[in-house]
Amino acid sequence: MPTPLIFSAFVMNTASHILHGVWRQPGARQVEFNSLDLWVDLAKELERGLFDVLFFADVTGLYGDFDGSYKKHVDIGLQIPSNDPSVILSALAYNTENLGFAFTSSILQEHPFNFARKISTLDHASKGRIAWNIVTNSLPNAARNFGYDDLTPHDERYEWAEEYVDVTYKLWEGSWDDGALLQDRESGLHGDFSKVHRINHVGKRYKVEGPHLVAPSLQRTPVLFQAGSSPAGTKFAAANAEAQFLIAPTPDAAASKITSMQALLPKYGRRAGDIKFFQGLSFVIGSTEEEAARKDRELDAAIDDEAMIAHLGGAMGIELGTNQLDQPLSDVKTQGIQSVLNWVRESIEGREATVRDIGILTGKRSRLVGTPEQIAGKLKAWQAAGVDGINVMNATIPGSYSDFIEHVMPVLRKQGLAKEGYAPGSLRRKLFGHDTVPETHPAAAYRQAFH
Amino acid sequence: MPTPLIFSAFVMNTASHILHGVWRQPGARQVEFNSLDLWVDLAKELERGLFDVLFFADVTGLYGDFDGSYKKHVDIGLQIPSNDPSVILSALAYNTENLGFAFTSSILQEHPFNFARKISTLDHASKGRIAWNIVTNSLPNAARNFGYDDLTPHDERYEWAEEYVDVTYKLWEGSWDDGALLQDRESGLHGDFSKVHRINHVGKRYKVEGPHLVAPSLQRTPVLFQAGSSPAGTKFAAANAEAQFLIAPTPDAAASKITSMQALLPKYGRRAGDIKFFQGLSFVIGSTEEEAARKDRELDAAIDDEAMIAHLGGAMGIELGTNQLDQPLSDVKTQGIQSVLNWVRESIEGREATVRDIGILTGKRSRLVGTPEQIAGKLKAWQAAGVDGINVMNATIPGSYSDFIEHVMPVLRKQGLAKEGYAPGSLRRKLFGHDTVPETHPAAAYRQAFH
C-alpha cells in the first residue's frame, strides 16, 4: 500500500484569494469571510473529511497597481478586504479536535516577541495544532503600511527573516525548560525559577531580553511552513522549513525541485524527510469525463482574466493595464519571477503569447479535471514525483472542499492514498511522529542554551 | 428605579492576576489558563449572569524584581506565564451572543496598522462586541523585550499613544466609507473603489499608507477603555476614553475623580456621559455576616503577602525584598505612584506603616464583604458616587463570578441595580445606544477625511 497523502485546504480570510471572480457563483460562501460561521463550518467539514491542515494565506498590503490604481482590486475583491487570520483560529480550534491550522505571518507585520507569544498561546489553545507559514514581504504597499518607503531588498529580507526566526526559536525552545511549570497547590510553587531564562538576544534588528511570557506549549515551535523559491528563499527553507509549498506546473517539475531541495538539506545538518512537500492543486470533479469538462468550461467562464493579470502583475512588480492585454509577453519587463511568464510563453503554441494569456493560463494552472478515479490517478503521479501532500486550492468555499471530500477522498482511501483516520496528538506528531522539532532543526540548538 | 449598573469581569490570561496565592485554593480553575475550556466556560457563565463585558488585563513583560530577581514572580505565578488574550477571543465570541470583550493591548507591542486590522477582524467575528483597553507600558522588562534599553519617559509615552490611536482612528473611520462593500453577484462589483481610501499618515513614529485592509465592522472603532490616572494619562483619557477603570479606595474618592474628569471633558469637545466609569471591586459573599467574615479571613490567609508586595513594588519601580518587610514605609523612595503608599500609611493607626503592610492592605483593597443585601447597599453607594459600572475582580475563577451571579445579582435585579436582560446590538449600542463613536469623539473627525 502507498503512504497516504497529507491534505491541506489552502484558503485566505478574503472573498477572492486565487481564482478571481468565482465568488459571484451561487453557493460561494467565501463572501461571508467576515463571519466566524463560515470558517467554523469549513473547519468542521474538513475534519469530517480527514483533512490534516487548514492553511490561511495572508497579505499585509495591496498588490501593485493595475491600470494605474487599485480600482480593479477593490472592484473584484482581489484580497481586499482581507482579515487577520490569526485571531479567528481559536474559534476553529475549539470546534475541532484533529485539524491543524497553518497561518501566514510576515516578519514585517509583528515584533517577534509578540508574535512568539501569540503562537504559543494558540498552540496551547489548540493543544498543539498550529503551523506558521513564514513569509517576508514582496508588496511595496505593505512595506509602506509599516513605515518603510519601499520594499526591503530581497536578500536582505531573508537575513531579516533569519534573525526573526532566531528570536522566536530562543523564546520557544530555550526560555523555559521542560518541567518549569509546576502549579503545585501543596507547596504553593507555581513555577520553577531555575528553569525560566532570559534570552538576551542582541542582533542587527532586534534586542529581546525575555523570558518568554508563555510556558511551553505541546509543540513549542509551531510546524514551520515556507514557500520561498528564490536562491535566498531556498536556502532559508532548507535551513528552517518543515513543510514546503510548491506550485509546480507538472509532476516532473515538482520532482526536480524536491530532489534538489532534498540534496541541499544535509548542508544545513538536516535529513531527507525533515521537509514535507505540498503541491498546490485545484480540482474540477465530474461523475463522468464529460461532466468534468463542462464544469471546467464553466469555471473558465467564471474567472475574471483581468483580475488574474492584476494579481500576477501586482505580485511580480510589473504594472499592467487593460490597454496592454494584447501586448506580446516578450515585451513585458520584470525584475521579478520569470518562471510563470516563461511557463505562459511555453504553453502557447503557434503564436506569440500576450498579456491576456497570463490571465487565461494562470486561472487554469495547477487544475486537475476529471472523474474521481482520474483524479486519483493523477495524484498518484504527483506522489510518485515525491510530493507528500496536496494543498487543495478552491474555486468556491465550501463547495470545492465538500466535493473533494465526498467524491475523491473515498476513491483515494480505497487506494491507500488517503488515511482512514487521524493519528493522535499534535500536528507535528501527526506529520512526523514527534511533538517538538528534531535535533537536526536549528531551533533545537537553543534547548538548555540559557542556563 | 435606579439605572442598572454595568458589570465587567476583570481577569487576565494567567494564574495569578491580582490576589496572589489564591490559585492554590480548591476550585480555583484559573490555573487552567492555557486551556480554551476555562475561558469559554467563564464567558458562557458570565452571559448567563447578564454580565456586560469580560475584560482581560495584560502585560508584555515582567514586573520589576523582588529580592533582586524575578524568582518570586515565577514561584507564585505573578502574571508569568501570561498568555496573549487577543487570540482566544474568537472562541469566546463564537460561544456567546451578547457578552462584550475588552482586552488590553499596549502601544509598545504591536504596530498600529496590524493592530487595527486585528481589532476590525475581531469586531466582525464578534458582531461588534470588542473593546480595547489602551495602555502605554510602565514595565522596564517589557521595554527591553521590544528593543528599548529602558522605559520611554512617561509623558512621551502618552504622546506616542496619541499618534498610535490617531493612526488607528484613520484606518477605522476614514479609510472605508459606509457602503464601500458591495458584494454584488449580479454586477460583479465586490467593492466601490471610490469609497476605499489611503490614509497616508506621516507622524513622528509612524508612516502608514493604507488603505485599511478590513472593511468597516459594526462598531468601526472598538469601545475604548483607559485607566490612566497621571496628569498625562488623565488628559489622554479625557480626549479618547469611552470607559475609564478606577480603583478608588472609597465612594467619595471615586466621586471626586469622576467629577473632575467630567469637568475636563468639555475642554476636549466631549460631553458628560461620553465616558462610563467602572470601579474595580472584589466581593466576599456570605449568607450571613458571620459567614462572610469567616470567608474574608480565609481569603486573607490564602493571599501571599510577599507576592502582593512584589507586584506593587514591581509595578511602581521600587525594588523591594524580604529583608525590607519591617522597614517603615516612609523610608521607601519612589518616583512612581504615591497614592497607594499614602493610602497604606493612612490606613494604619497607632503605629508606623511598614513594607509588610503593603502586602496585607493591597490584598484587602477594594474588597466588599457581606451578605448579598449588604453588598447591594454598598454598590448603591458607589453608584451614588457617579460610578456607572463595576469591574468585578476575582479571587477564584469561576467561583468569584458564579457566587456573584447566584447570590448578588438577584438582589441587585430586584432593586433595579442590575438589568433584567440584554439590550440588542453591539457593545457600544448596549452601553451608549449607538454602534459607532459619537461626533464628539476625535475618531469621528476622520470620517470622509480622505476623499
pLDDT digits (tens, 9 = 90+) for A212-271: 999 999 999 999 999 888 899 999 999 999 999 999 999 999 999 999 999 999 999 999
Q: What is the pLDDT of residue A167?
A: 98
What are the residue ranges of helices labelled H in B317-423? 339-347, 355-364, 372-384, 399-403, 409-414
Q: What is the pLDDT of residue A329?
A: 86
Interface-testing mutation among B74, B107, B208, with chain A (most A C-beta atoms within 10 A):
B74
- Cβ(A133)–Cβ(A161) below 8 Å: no
Which residue carries 495584560 as its cell?
Answer: B58
Q: How many CB atoms lie within 10 A of CB B58?
A: 21
- CB-nearest to B191 from A77, A113, A211 is A77
- Cβ(B41)–Cβ(B35) below 8 Å: no
Distance CA B220, CA A416 (A): 50
Which residue carries 470622509 as its cell?
Answer: B448
* Interface predicted TM-score of the whole assembly (ipTM), two decimals: 0.98
For residue A101 the three cell numbers come to 491550522
Q: What is the pLDDT of residue B26?
A: 92
* Max intra-chain CA distance, chain B: 81
pLDDT digits (tens, 9 = 90+) for A180-197: 999 999 999 999 999 999
Name chain A contacts of B26, Cβ cutoff 8 Å.
Answer: 185
Task: Determine, for residues A188 and B21 on separate chains, whether the beta-carbon distance falls below 8 Å.
Answer: yes
Task: Determine, for residues B208 and A145 on separate chains, whether the beta-carbon distance falls below 8 Å.
Answer: yes
pLDDT digits (tens, 9 = 90+) for A371-420: 999 999 999 999 999 999 999 999 999 999 999 999 999 999 999 999 99
Distance CA A232, CA B12 (A): 42
Task: Determine, for residues A87 and B125 on separate chains, whether the beta-carbon distance falls below 8 Å.
Answer: yes
Task: Determine, for residues A114 and B110 on separate chains, whether the beta-carbon distance falls below 8 Å.
Answer: yes
CA closest to B144 among chain A residues: A209
Rounded mean pLDDT, A55-60: 98
Answer whether B191 touches A (CB < 8 Å): yes
Closest approach of B28 to chain A, Cα-based (Å): 10
Burial class (CB in 10 A: 0-12, 13-18, 19+), A188: middle
Bridge-based pairing state of the strands A207-208 and A201-202: antiparallel
What are the residue ranges of helices labelled H in B95-178? 112-125, 140-145, 154-169
Peptide bond into A81 cis (omega under 30): yes
Q: How far is CA B173 from CA A319, B176, B220, B426, B447, in A?
A: 30, 7, 6, 17, 5
Interface-testing mutation among B63, B86, B114, B306, with chain A (most A C-beta atoms within 10 A):
B114
Name chain B contacts of A88, Cβ cutoff 8 Å.
Answer: 90, 121, 125
pLDDT digits (tens, 9 = 90+) for A71-81: 999 999 999 99
Distance CA A307, CA A70 (A): 11
Cα A130–Cα A132–Cα A135 angle in degrees, nearest 5: 170
Answer whether B280 touches A (CB < 8 Å): no
Task: Determine, for residues A124 and B70 on separate chains, whether the beta-carbon distance falls below 8 Å.
Answer: no
CA closest to B140 among chain A residues: A209
Please say if the pLDDT value at position A334 is more than 80.
no
pLDDT digits (tens, 9 = 90+) for A159-184: 999 999 999 999 999 999 999 999 99
Please say if the pLDDT value at position B96 is more than 90.
yes
Q: What is the pLDDT of residue A335?
A: 58
Q: What is the pLDDT of residue A337?
A: 60
Distance CA A69, CA A310 (A): 10
Distance CA A95, CA A222 (A): 20
Which pLDDT band holds residue B340 (cuts at 50, 70, 90)? Answer: confident
Task: Determine, for residues B34 and A83 on separate chains, whether the beta-carbon distance falls below 8 Å.
Answer: no
Per DSSP, the residues of A270-298 read: --TTSSEEEEEEEEEE-SSHHHHHHHHHH
Answer whether B192 touches A (CB < 8 Å): yes
pLDDT digits (tens, 9 = 90+) for B362-399: 888 899 999 999 999 999 999 999 999 999 999 999 99
DSSP single-letter state for residue B402: H
Name chain A contacts of B209, Cβ cutoff 8 Å.
Answer: 61, 141, 144-145
Q: What is the pLDDT of residue B168?
A: 98
Answer whether A193 touches B (CB < 8 Å): yes
Q: Identify the CA nearest to A15 among candidates A30, A37, A35.
A: A30
Average model confidence (pLDDT) for chain A? 95
Please say if the pLDDT value at position B62 is more than 90.
yes
CA closest to B91 among chain A residues: A91
Name chain A contacts of B38, Cβ cutoff 8 Å.
Answer: none
Please say if the pLDDT value at position B102 is more than 90.
yes
Answer whether B89 touches A (CB < 8 Å): yes
- CB-nearest to B90 from A87, A114, A196 is A87
Q: What is the pLDDT of residue B337?
A: 60
Task: Determine, for residues B36 and A125 on separate chains, whether the beta-carbon distance falls below 8 Å.
Answer: yes
Task: Determine, for residues B86 and A83 on separate chains, whether the beta-carbon distance falls below 8 Å.
Answer: no
Cα A134–Cα A303–Cα A245 angle in degrees, nearest 5: 20
CA closest to B304 among chain A residues: A188
Domain extents in chain B: 6-289+369-446
Radius of gyration of chain B (CA): 22
Please say if the pLDDT value at position B335 is more than 70.
no
Distance CA A337, CA B56 (A): 45
Please say if the pLDDT value at position B238 is more than 90.
yes
Task: Determine, for residues A191 and B111 on separate chains, whether the beta-carbon distance falls below 8 Å.
Answer: no
Average model confidence (pLDDT) for chain B? 95
How many beta-carbon contacts under 8 Å exist across A and B? 239
The fraction of chain B above a pLDDT of 70, given in percent, is 99
A107-121, A225-239, B107-121: least confident range: A225-239
CA closest to B215 among chain A residues: A81
Which residue carries 465616558 as its cell?
Answer: B275
pTM: 0.98
Answer whether A82 touches B (CB < 8 Å): yes
Answer whether A24 touches B (CB < 8 Å): yes
Please say if the pLDDT value at position B52 is more than 70.
yes
B260 versus A346: the higher-pLDDT residue is B260
CATH class of B6-289+369-446: alpha beta
Task: Determine, for residues A213 and B87 on separate chains, whether the beta-carbon distance falls below 8 Å.
Answer: no
Name chain B contacts of A214, Cβ cutoff 8 Å.
Answer: 81-84
Name chain B contacts of A180, Cβ cutoff 8 Å.
Answer: 74
Mark which residues 286-345 of A lie under 8 Å from B by CB.
Answer: 304
CA closest to B176 among chain A residues: A81
Inter-axis angle of helices B231-240 and B251-264, nearest 10: 60
Name chain A contacts of B88, Cβ cutoff 8 Å.
Answer: 90, 121, 125
- Cβ(A23)–Cβ(B190) below 8 Å: yes
Rounded mean pLDDT, B104-111: 98
Which pLDDT band holds residue A336 (cuts at 50, 70, 90)? Answer: low
Rounded mean pLDDT, B246-258: 94
For residue A329 the three cell numbers come to 509577453
How many H-runs (helices) and E-runs (strands) does chain B carry?
Answer: 16, 11
Task: Determine, for residues A70 and B193 on separate chains, whether the beta-carbon distance falls below 8 Å.
Answer: yes
For residue B142 the three cell numbers come to 517589557
Name chain A contacts of B21, Cβ cutoff 8 Å.
Answer: 188
Answer whether A374 touches B (CB < 8 Å): no
